[in-house]
Structure 1
Amino acid sequence: MTETRREVGRAASVIGAITVASRLAGFGRTMVFTWAIGLGTLGTAYQTANNIPNIIFELVAGGALAALVIPLLAAPLARNDPKQVSHIASALLTWSLTILLPVGILLAIFARPIILLLMPEDPNSAATADVATEMLILFAPQLPLYGVAVVLTGILQSHRRFAWPALAPLLSSVVMAGVYVVYGLVSGRTFKADQVSHSEVFLLGLGTTCGVAVLAGCLVFPLRGLRLRLRPAWRLETSIAAGLKSLAIAGMITVGAQQLCQALLIRLANDARGEVPGATAIFTVSQTFFLLPWAVLAVPLATAAYPILAEAFSLGEHERYQRRLSQTGRAVLLLSGLGVAALAGLAEPIGTVLSSVSSDTGEGTQSQLQATLTGLAFGLFGYSVFAIYSRGLYAIGRNKYAAGATSIGWAAGALAAVVLSNALPVADRTLALAIAWSIGMTVIGLALTLAVARHTGAASLAGFPRAALAAVGAAIGAVLAARELIYLWGHADTFYTALFQGVVVGAATAVVYLGLAALIGGAGVVRPVLRRAGIIRASEEPDEPASDEHGPDEPSGADK
């Protein structure tokens, strides 16, 4: 087994362990949010406003920064050039703040018209838009903070320092959960936007921004151990700047398309608030649960592999690149199937747990949560593939192909959202958006897989068809088994009974999934899942040679 194989395994284990804790904290934060703020008009105002800084950040700089940092630092790190590393890191930080500080100010100034783009005026819900506007002004400082967080995360990950970037969301979630608890105690759990006071809005808005400040600020501590000399810098060497443009444009297109789609989904959800007042809150909370298995199962492996993929290509080690991409791709796909089985199979108890926490929800909210979670679940396959294959293409400079494939998927999701929102009853709006989301994710996954096959060689997809068949087949079987177990058990109508039901049925679902995956794809297919869960050691799985003697096609430079 190669050293990089062990290194990725160790890094993924560290990232995974912290990410599990972080996502559990995120789960707790969501539960506290539902308890304190609810899924009604105040929850809709909060979720609408809180999404906007992230959407604007990703459109303006986030995608570019996320795509830039690791590839730009890979070469100077490989040749042990700390001066160049410090200069590039300084320039990225300087430019992110130069761009995002003015944008944050403009966001605060134009908060009202921006809110009305996503939440059209309605005399019956004017208070919701008013509260969302106040919150957005308080959320505006999040923009430069997001920029600092993304750049520092990339710097640390490029140095193989994965722990703190994985820990940062946990600390942020703890702060935000604390803010929600304080709000609930101070306000007496006011759920309606027309009943909340200005001081309570200030508490929620400023407290949430403090959570983002913690997200960025905690990354400063491990940065000191790298001994970088960070100074204001706006200029980069010509050779570096040549590759920067392509990466930046690709990142902006990729993430920008995602955020435009997200903005459309929020607008469509808000259009239904006359009949479903909490549609936006229901959909965004369900998205949080969708991201839980993705972040725990897929992202750690993709994150750990990315610096190694970039390094391998920069050193001309194309066979090593292909082997790493194929192994990580198969593992990510199999693990995403486990997430699909859990999310769709346990949608009923999850919906019960969420709806029972908030006193402003009823049976309708519970059924909407269940349907929305089920609709989102199968998008995990494509979104997990996106996590690794987009990085694989960025690592070899095929940036425009990653951007193009991803944009096609988001466009498909946006089109599906409009069509389904008009085809289905307004009462089913969150289900329509969830299905559209899954359609978009599936298109992204398929398009990126084709791009990887074309631009990196067939060896990068070694074993992928077999793993895909096993993952999809096992996920469908496990979901059906979970639903049947819940049916035989009976509906759990309280928080604790639903939580217990979810744990028991979840364990059974995992066993069924692994068994079916092994039956369909062979015992070797489930090894990545077992290793990721700590049931077997990484050393027990043999390294697989690439099946294609040709490496990734070598671009003469960054894509133009």
Structure 2
Amino acid sequence: MSRIAAGVTHGVGRAALLIAVVTVGARVAGFGRTVVFSQTVGDTCLGTAYITANQLPAVLFEIVIGGALTAVVVPVLAAAAERGEREGVERTASALLTWVLLLSVPLAGLIALAAPHLMALMLGPGAGCDPRALAELSVRMLLVFAPQVVFYGLAAVLYGVLQSHRAYLSPAVAPLVSSVVVICSYLLFVPLGGAHRDDPDGLSAGAELVLSLGTTAGVLALFLTVLGPAVRLGLRWRPRLAFPPGVGRRVRSLAAASLVPLIAMQACLLLSVALANRGGGAGASVLYSYAWALFTLPYGVIAVPIATSAFTALAVAHADRDRGAYAELVAGPARAAAVLTAAVGTALAAAALPVAEVFARQDPAALARALAAYAPGVVGFGLVALYSRALYASHHGRPAAAAQTAGWLLVMAGSVVSVALVPRGWAIAALGWSTTLGLTCAALACAAAVRRVHGAPALAGAGRTAAAVAAGGVLGWAAGRPVAGALAGGGVWPSVGAALVSGALAVVVFALVAAAVDRSAARAALDRVRSVFERRRGSR
């Protein structure tokens, strides 16, 4: 390799590592935002109003940023940018931005107009809080949150424009900046209104606006962080409705194919908040938000990076018609993802009580039950990410979308039934059981589709890995759970220590058992972890 080529490769490696570090940092900051919220606002009547009102814009964020960006904006713009078709990029980006404004501004207005009805539907009777005060506070907050929809839409287009021009850093930094802004608003709230977290009527307007405006400012930061870099691309932005020939049709087809599972997932989250409020009473929706944040953390930090790193190689193997390589690229990462996510899930289940004591101020036991119920579903959630990408890479997106959509529909059906049947303190746990069941079934359906399309070699070793994960999970939980129970209590920091000790013990036992049952899968997981550190060391 020439000196220049080596320098370019090294530079690309450093840039990729920087982006990866920033992305993980953004995810950790997002989780840190939840931690700070738990210590400042908490599972109170105010927290219930905040979480319920903010769920609607948050759902639209996931659909717009997580769905439209990856499924529509980048694929449409990337090819034209790669070919140097500047005029085509400008026309497409301008049309996307115009349509986003035309749709998001009226949608924000509609949310504001319908705020009383939406909050009445989501809150239910408001057990444990003053129903009138809770409803009025939620409506006022939703009025301030509604403009977030516009900022999310604008940010999605600019993210896509930047990524299609291989400018990845600012879109990776933006969520980190957003989380920092919101965290600051939480901290600023405490001296202004911390004494009235369970008394919405006593909350001052200033304290309320610090929370609501601060959160909306965090979303505005998503947009402003990428605005400057997008302007520096030098594109001419002109209001226009018409896409270049053929592009509009592609936008519609991409959106229809890939947004359905995401919409099903986000509908499930909205339903879960409503069921938590109605079935669990005051603070239950806040506990649900904690459980969901802890549940999705290993998915975002472990499963998605593994699936994303495999996606390009899978696409190349499919283009080369190399079925053997394709099968290896599915089977190996799937086994590694199963072991790594199961290890984290085992730790979460074992340390559920002290973890719950860190987050929940009112009812830690309810959150602990929920975490134990959610924990087994981490594996299924992670495998859905990998198997669905394996199907998308080979242009078999329909069975992937069908499996995911069916899984979320099963979660919704199970949640409605189980929350209606259990006592109030078990409502969030019922949501956890339903999620674990639905996502495990979705993973099995995706695996069946992979086997049908790519043959049995694509699932090589999956049975043994499943046995290793199950045995390791049960024995790891059995080892860590008594330690967690013995050490729990005594405040936040002792609970943090108890969670670390019991979780670490559970992971050690899990690793020993999993390695004994399926040594090759354990080695694949270890190699995956080792490769991350080697890339980091080699890029310095």
TM range (shorter): 0.7 to 0.9
Once residues 480 and 141 of structure 2 are traced to their aligned partners in structure 1, the CA distance between those partners, rounded to angstroms, is 40
- Which of 183, 195, 202 pairs up with 1:195? 202
1:56 to partner: Cα distance: 4.3
Tell me the distance in 1 between the aligned counterparts of 2:418 and 2:12. 41
Match of 1:501 among 498, 512, 528: 498
Q: Aligned partners of 2:51, 2:425: CA distance in 1, in Å?
A: 19
The one-letter code of the counterpart of 1:471 is V
Q: 2:133 pairs with 110, 127, 132, which one?
A: 127
Q: 406, 409, 423: which one pairs with 1:408?
A: 406
- Residues in 1 aligned to 2:468 and 2:238: alpha-carbon distance in whole angstroms: 51
- For the 8 Å contact 2:126–2:278, the answer to whether it is kept is no
Secondary structure of the residue aligned to 2:243 is coil
Residue 524 of structure 1: how far off its partner (Å): 5.2
- Which sections of structure 2, spanning at least 5 residues, go unmatched? 1-5
Alpha-carbon distance in 1 for matches of 2:475, 2:232? 48
Q: Counterpart in 2 of 1:332? A: 337
Q: Which residue of 1 aligns with 2:475?
A: 477
What is residue 114 of structure 2 aligned with on the other side? 110
Q: Deviations over 1:3-51 (max 9, x none)?
A: 9xx9999888655533443343233322321222120111100000010
Matched position secondary structure for 2:489: coil
State the match for 2:378 in structure 1. Answer: 380
Distance 2:87 2:329 in 1: 29
Please say if 1:265 is aligned against 2:272.
yes
CA distance in 2 between partners of 1:11 and 1:330 (Å): 29
CA offsets 1:466-499 (integer angstroms, 9 cap, x no match): 4444334333332222214334x43332211111
C-alpha distance in 1 between matches for 2:337 and 2:11: 17
Shift of 1:283: 0.9
Is 1:208 paired with 2:212?
no
Q: Does 1:518 align with 2:515?
A: yes
More helix by share: 2
**Partner Cα separation in structure 2 for residue 291 and residue 379 of structure 1:** 10
The alpha-carbon deviation at position 415 of structure 1 amounts to 0.9
Letter in 1 for 2:49: A
Q: 1:318 to 1:132 in 2, by over 3 A?
A: farther
1:372 CA displacement? 1.0
Partner of 2:28 in structure 1?
24
Deviation larger for 53-62 or 128-137: 53-62
CA distance in 2, matches of 1:312, 1:85: 29
Q: 2:54 aligns with which of 46, 50, 53?
A: 50
- 1:256-275 alpha-carbon deviations (Å, 9 max, x no partner): 111221122111111135xx
Match of 2:3 in 1: none
Compared CA separation, residues 287 and 232, structure 1 to 2 (3 A)? same
> How far 1:374 sits from its partner (Å)?
1.0
Paired residue type of 2:44? G
Counterpart in the other structure of 1:553? none
Shift, 1:412, TM fit: 0.5
Show CA shifts across 1:344-383 (max 9, x none): 122111111123xx4xx2xxx1101111111111111121
CA deviation map 1:208-259 (0-9, x unaligned) = 0111111233234554676666554533345444443332113332111112
Shift of residue 419, structure 1, vs aligned partner: 1.5
Preserved contact between residue 487 and residue 498 of structure 2 (Cα < 8 Å) = no
Q: Is the 8 A contact 1:62 1:252 kept in 2?
A: no
1:14–1:162 Cα contact (<8 Å) kept: no
Q: 1:491 to 1:285 in 2, by over 3 A?
A: closer
Q: How big is the shift at 1:64?
A: 4.2
Give the Cα separation in 1 of the matches to 2:108 and 2:411.
28
* Offset at residue 417 of structure 1 (A): 0.6
Native 8 Å contact 1:184 1:190 kept in 2: no
Measure how far apart 1:461 and its partner are: 3.8
Matches of 1:36 and 1:306, distance apart in 2? 40
RMSD: 3.4
Give, in whole Å, the separation in 2 of the partners of 1:160 and 1:37. Answer: 39
Q: Which residue of 1 aligns with 2:100?
A: 96
The Cα of 1:387 is off from its aligned counterpart by 2.4
Q: C-alpha separation between the residues in 2 aligned to 1:90 and 1:74?
A: 15
* Contact 1:158-1:307 within 8 A present in 2 as well: no
Letter matched to residue 67 of structure 1: A
Residue 493 of structure 1 aligns to a residue in which SS? coil
Change (3 A) 1:17 1:436: same
Tell me the alpha carbon deviations over residues 510-555 of structure 1, each in whole angstroms, 9 at most, x when there is no partner: 333333332222145433344336586479xxxxxxxxxxxxxxxx
Farther off after superposition, 429-438 or 447-456: 447-456
Moved more, 61-70 or 345-354: 61-70
Out of 433, 438, 441, the residue aligned to residue 439 of structure 2 is 441
Could you say if the C-alpha distance between residues 291 and 453 of structure 1 is closer, same or farther in structure 2, counting changes exceeding 3 Å?
Answer: same
Aligned to 1:171: 177
Q: Which position in structure 2 is the counterpart of 1:256?
A: 263
Aligned 8 A contact 2:181 2:217 in 1: yes
Bigger RCO of structures 1 and 2 (CA < 8 A, at least 6 apart)? 1
Query: What is the identity, as a one-letter code, of the residue corresponding to 1:204?
Result: L
Amino acid at match of 2:173: L
Matched with 2:283 is 278
Q: Which moved more, 1:474-483 or 1:100-109?
A: 474-483
Q: 1:159 to 1:311 in 2, by over 3 A?
A: farther
How far off its partner does 1:438 sit? 1.5
Partner-residue secondary structure (3-state), 1:508: helix
Match of 1:492 among 468, 489, 495: 489
How many residue pairs match? The answer is 526
Which amino acid in structure 1 is aligned with residue 468 of structure 2? A
Amino acid at match of 1:503: L
Identity of aligned residues (%): 35
TM-score w.r.t. the length of structure 2 is: 0.86
